[in-house]
Structure formats: C-alpha cells, structure tokens
Amino acid sequence: MKLGVNIDHVATVREARYHGRLRGEPDPVQAAQYCEAAGAHGITAHLREDRRHIQDRDVRALRRSVRTRLNLEMANTPGIVAIALRLKPDIVCIVPERRLEVTTEGGLEAAGQWRALARTRRRMNRAGIDVSLFIAPNPRQVDAAVRIGAQFIELHTGAYAEAFARPAARRRELRRLAAAARQAHASGLRVNAGHGLNYANVPELFGVPHLVELNIGHSIISRAIFVGLETAVREMLDTMAGYPG
C-alpha cells in the first residue's frame, strides 16, 4: 500500500500570512521534496476554484519538481479542467467542491453526473492522465465510476474516521469500505482511500482489501510540527507497513 502525501495544509499556513503575494513560507513545493525524500510514493495537491491554499504557481512548480507521482485534486469545472490538461499531472482525482466548506465534506455524486464526468475522463485519458473519482463507499457510486470509465476510485473514509471512537459504528463503516473495495476491484477499478486518516485509525484499514494508495495530509502535517516532516512521513509509512492487500 502506497502513501500519497497531501500538501494543501502547508499552503494553508503560508496563505495565512502571505495571501496574495508571490512568495512566502512555508513552501509547499519544498514540503513535497521532503516528503519524497522520506519515502512518500506520491504528492497530492488540490487546486480549488477559490485558490484558498494551493495556487497556480504551486502546481506548475510541483509538476516540474515531483519525481514520484503528482495527483491533482480538482472540481469538474471548465477552468480547472483546462489547467489540468495543460499541466498533465500523472493522475487527477475529481472531487466535489463547495465554497463554504472547510475541507471536502463528502464524496462525489458520480451517479447523478456521469455524462459530464465521462466527458472529462475521456479528455484526461486522451492527454495521458489517469482519472480517479472521490466517492463514498456506496454501490451506486462504484457502479457509476465503472460506467464513467475511471481508472481509480478514492474511497471517502471520512465517515469511518468520524466513527472511529465508537466500535460498532467503526465496524459498520469498515464493512462498507471493504464491500466497496471488493466491488470496485471486481469491476477492474483500482482503489485508493483518504480523508480523516491518521496514525491511530490507519491500522484498522488493513481489513479493507485491494487498497493501492492512501492519501493523507492533515495528520502528517500536524505531526510534522513536533517531529519534522520527514520523520512524520516515515512514521506514517511504518504505520502502513504490513498491509496484506
């Protein structure tokens, strides 16, 4: 199981002080380099429409510097789609996006907008870019991802993370994730997961089969405040070690 590190929160700290300026610290591109040096398998960045953290210049610099795998999270809107087609990340993960949310609150309603998503998927694939859909562990949404022709899904683990302190609810969410992973794998999709994952709740995901990659940001960046970014990444890699697949 691979680790993709989401560096959005590094940019969030920078924007708190240097919003609207061409330079500032901390630099998310430098953070990506530290993550790769520590063994991360990929870098994730979300270019939101309101540019609240990652900026256009960041994704351009990341495309030049990332040596592993660049995953661009994005809404399915014309302007962001055009940027992705010019940038050519290794993979895009299409996510829902609302201006008022603090972070992405739920999975994509892929079933209700499959035609628009299929058009974007075809454009990305023609440009050599893999497509992932960020969806809830719901059979209807997995079926829609197959219909759309995505190469990956990323299972939204937010409900699992919220339920983690309640054993019965946690087990229920793990069953949902496992069922969705099996369904997706049987349909030819590759399965990633992310949202709300941390050093405490990742080990129980070992019960979910077929996971290719976890995308984790906030927990790693939070831990890095105390131990440094490279150590925080290595600790997460150690936490993920031994996943049976």
Catalytic residue among 9, 53, 73, 156: 73
- The answer to whether 100 and 87 are in contact (CB under 8 A) is no
CA–CA separation, 5 and 217 (whole Å): 5
Predicted pLDDT at 202: 98
The CATH number of residue 200's host domain is 3.20.20.70
Count of domains in the chain? 1
Predicted pLDDT at 245: 74
Dihedral (CA of 110, 152, 148, 79) sign: positive
CA–CA separation, 134 and 108 (whole Å): 6
pLDDT per residue as tens, the chain (245 positions): 999 999 999 999 999 999 989 899 999 999 999 999 999 999 999 999 999 999 999 999 999 999 999 999 999 999 999 999 999 999 999 999 765 545 556 789 999 999 999 999 999 999 999 999 999 999 999 999 999 999 999 999 999 999 999 999 999 999 999 999 999 999 999 999 999 999 999 999 999 999 999 999 999 999 999 999 999 999 999 999 999 97
CA–CA separation, 237 and 242 (whole Å): 10
Predicted pLDDT at 100: 53
Model pTM?
0.94
CA–CA separation, 159 and 157 (whole Å): 6
* 58 found inside a domain: yes
Catalytic residue among 53, 156, 195, 213: 195
Catalytic residue among 9, 36, 46, 97: 46
* 245 found inside a domain: no
Q: Which helix (H) or strand (E) holds 45?
A: strand 42-46
* 104 found inside a domain: yes
Domain that holds residue 176: 2-240
- Pick the closest to residue 129 from 152, 113, 109, 104 (CA basis): 152
CA–CA separation, 45 and 91 (whole Å): 11
46 assigned to active site: yes
Alpha helices, DSSP H, located in 21-126: 28-37, 56-65, 78-87, 114-126
Predicted pLDDT at 97: 75
Instruction: Tell me how far apart the terminal alpha carbons of the chain are, to the nearest angstrom.
Output: 7
Dihedral (CA of 135, 95, 128, 211) sign: negative
